[in-house]
Amino acid sequence: MNNMELKIIERPPTVVEHKTLWEAVGWGKVNIEMTEQSIANSVYGVVAISDGNVIGMGRIVGDGAMYYYIQDVAVLPEHQNRGIGKKIIDKLLNYINVNCAGAAFVGLFASHGKDKFYEKFGFKDHSPGMTGMFMVLDE
């Protein structure tokens, strides 16, 4: 990792950190008010910090009991492919394993081309028996 000191800190990203990472990875523009409320309602979150700067993030949303959804896993493009995303996912999955008393459903949507990354953690496509679907509501 080029002697880069990396820390994974247990806290959600701030709205500004979230916006910066979201836009840096090409997910579009964010609605600050909506983002603020979304982050506040997270079950759990982490940020990856290097040299005092947030370079990655990941969150869990859901009911905190049986259903968990991994959301907003992002690493600044110039820091990708260095194992940072893996450390973020490991921390998120560890939280679920420690805090879930029984069977849990853990879901996520992977960005295009990132499915192989998530398969390494046990995520898989369950179609045709089960299909992940979503709908986007625009203003």
Paired with 50 in beta bridges are: 6, 53
Domain interval for residue 103? 6-119
The answer to whether residue 1 sits within a structural domain is no
Q: What is the number of structural domains in the chain?
A: 1
The answer to whether residue 126 sits within a structural domain is no
The answer to whether residue 59 sits within a structural domain is yes
Per-residue pLDDT 10s for the chain (139 aa) are 456 799 999 999 999 999 999 999 999 999 999 999 999 999 999 999 999 999 999 999 999 999 999 999 999 999 999 999 999 999 999 999 999 888 889 988 888 888 888 889 888 887 888 777 777 777 6
Pairing of strands 67-75, 105-107: parallel
- CA nearest 55: which of 30, 32, 80, 89? 80
Query: In this structure, what CATH number is given to the domain that contains residue 72?
Result: 3.40.630.30
- The total number of residues shown for the chain amounts to 139
The answer to whether residue 130 sits within a structural domain is no
